[in-house]
Each structure stands twice: as structure tokens, then as C-alpha cells.
Amino acid sequence: MNFIHNIQSVVLIGSGNVATHLAQALKQQNIAVVQVFSPNPAHAARLAHTIGTRAVSDINIIDRSADLYLISISDDQIENVSDLLPEIKGIVAHTSGITALEALNKHRNSGVFYPLQTFSKNRTVDLNTVPFCIEASDPETSEALTGLAKKLSSKVYPVSTEKRKQLHLAAVLVNNFPTYLYQKAMDLLNENDLDFDMLRPLITETGAKIMEMNPAAAQTGPARRGDQKTINIHKELLQHHPEILAVYELISNQIEKNE
């Protein structure tokens, strides 16, 4: 094949949060998104409409001449969809943090194009600040994917599958788990006619400290102080919320051990 050194055309396979943000960013950089594929025609059409391109829901009629086929779907479907792709000339890459590069082994030129960020369709994200993790089947593919990533972000890193798995795990710890705790905190406040907005300045300051300090140095609270009386009061308040109590006890114990 004539190798693609400068990616200028992309087929997006997926129409969810990550695909939506990448589609918009690619369009802003004048990279042609020639098609959006989703097995759900309405989803494909909705995203395709926002960037002025074509929607397809039959994988067999995907355009076969694009430079890059970017698979941005749920992790457990990546390998299946990759295997269903027809014979194509371009690079095939996925955007998953946890899926191995080997999931794309059907394709001669394959890679990973992983943006390390939380995405929601209705939230604007400055991709220039988002780390992009690149892995590829060969140096030329790596160069092409790195070049594309650098058009979208100032933070581009070569990261192997094994290191990317560790990075993804760490990302879940700092993003998904705190979000769960935020929801549980909101539930507790709602039960007591208190407004979650009262916690937002605390959340903001905590995040700001973590941006400037080692997390251990930023830690405060009763477990950090060894204030068992306060901890016991909290545990009593959580007697009717065993799922929150279990998390509270586990994390408090770990904070105490770290001191």
C-alpha cells in the first residue's frame, strides 16, 4: 500500500461522547470526516448532521479510501467491529484506554489514539490540553497518528498497551470514583433538604490544590487527623446507607494507614 504520512480524511466508527468531540475537533482542523458509522441510524445521522457529513449504518458500505478509520465505541465491541470491517487501505485505530492494540490485528496498519479525558456531548472540552496516548503497529503508523494528534493537542505521548492500562486504571480512580461519591453526597443532602451547591466551592478548592500539590499533602479531614469521635458520628449517620458506610470505612482506614 502507499502509506499515509499525513492523515487528511477520517471515517468515524461510533457516535458517542468521544466520537462527538473528536468529530468536532477534526472538522476545526480541516480534517475531512467523510463518514460517521453507527449501527443505530438515528445516532449516526445526528452526529453526521452536526459536522456536515454522511451517515452510514451498514458497515459493508463504509468508504474504503479514507486515511484513517477511528473506532470509538464501547471497549467490548472494538475487536468484533474491527474484524467486520471490509478490506481497506488506511490506518485502523481505536480510542480505548484499556483495549490492547492487538484487538486490531486484522489490519496491517493499526494503532491507538486515546484521549485521556472525560467527555460528555453537552460539555465543551479544550482538546489542546488533553493528553493523547499513541501506540501503533509500526513506526510509520505511529508517526502518522502522532502527527494527527499534534494538530488537536499540545500533549501527545507514546504509551504502550500495558502502560496505557495502568493509566486508564488511575484515570478511573481520580474521575469515576469521585463522581460516584459526589452523587452519594448529593443523595444525602437531598434527603436532608440541603443544597449540593453548598459543596461546590469545596470541590473546586480540592481540585485546585491537587493541581498544585502532592495529593497526600492536600489530604485533610477526620481520618487525616485521627479524629475517631467524628468518624464514629459519621458512621452512625450512615447506618441506613450501608453501601456508603462500606466506602466510608474502607477509605477512612486507608487514609489513617497512610499517616
pLDDT tens digits along 81-127: 999 999 898 999 999 999 999 999 999 999 999 999 999 998 999 99
Is the domain of 139 the same as that of 202?
A: no
Is the domain of 203 the same as that of 94?
A: no
Kindly report the number of other CB atoms within 10 A of residue 148's CB atom. 28
Give the residue from 128, 159, 190 where a domain finishes: 159
pLDDT of residue 85: 94
Name the pTM for this structure.
0.91
Whether the pLDDT of residue 4 is over 70: the answer is: no
pLDDT of residue 1: 42
Taking residues 132-138, what's their average pLDDT? 97
Residue 2 lies in a domain: no
The x, y and z cell numbers of residue 198, run together, are: 453548598
Residue 1 lies in a domain: no
Is the domain of 148 the same as that of 207?
A: no
Is the domain of 169 the same as that of 137?
A: no
pLDDT of residue 20: 96
Q: Which tens digits make up the pLDDT trace of 15-38?
A: 999 999 999 999 999 999 999 999
Whether the pLDDT of residue 2 is over 70: the answer is: no
- What is the C-alpha separation between 144 and 160, in angstroms, rounded? 16
Structural domains counted in the chain: 2
Give the residue from 159, 177, 203 where a domain finishes: 159
Look over the chain and give the mean of its residue pLDDT values, rounded to a whole number: 95
Question: Quick one: pLDDT band at residue 66, thresholds 50, 70, 90?
Answer: very high
The x, y and z cell numbers of residue 142, run together, are: 505511529
Nearest to 133 by CA among 161, 109, 106, 110: 161
Distance set, CA 93 to CA 33, 113, 145, 176, 210 (Å): 15, 6, 9, 25, 33
Helices (H), the chain: 17-28, 41-51, 78-84, 139-152, 161-171, 177-191, 200-212, 215-218, 222-225, 228-237, 242-258
Give the residue from 125, 159, 193 where a domain finishes: 159
Taking residues 171-182, what's their average pLDDT? 97
Is the domain of 248 the same as that of 155?
A: no
Is the domain of 61 the same as that of 22?
A: yes
Whether the pLDDT of residue 7 is over 70: the answer is: yes
Residue 70 lies in a domain: yes
Is the domain of 24 the same as that of 51?
A: yes
φ, ψ (nearest 5 deg) of residue 170: -60, -35
- Residue 115 belongs to domain spanning: 9-159
The domain spanning residue 225 has which CATH number? 1.10.1040.20
Residue 202 lies in a domain: yes
The domain spanning residue 49 has which CATH number? 3.40.50.720
Is the domain of 71 the same as that of 151?
A: yes
Residue 4 lies in a domain: no
Is the domain of 93 the same as that of 150?
A: yes
Residue linked to cell 438515528: 42
Residue 118 lies in a domain: yes
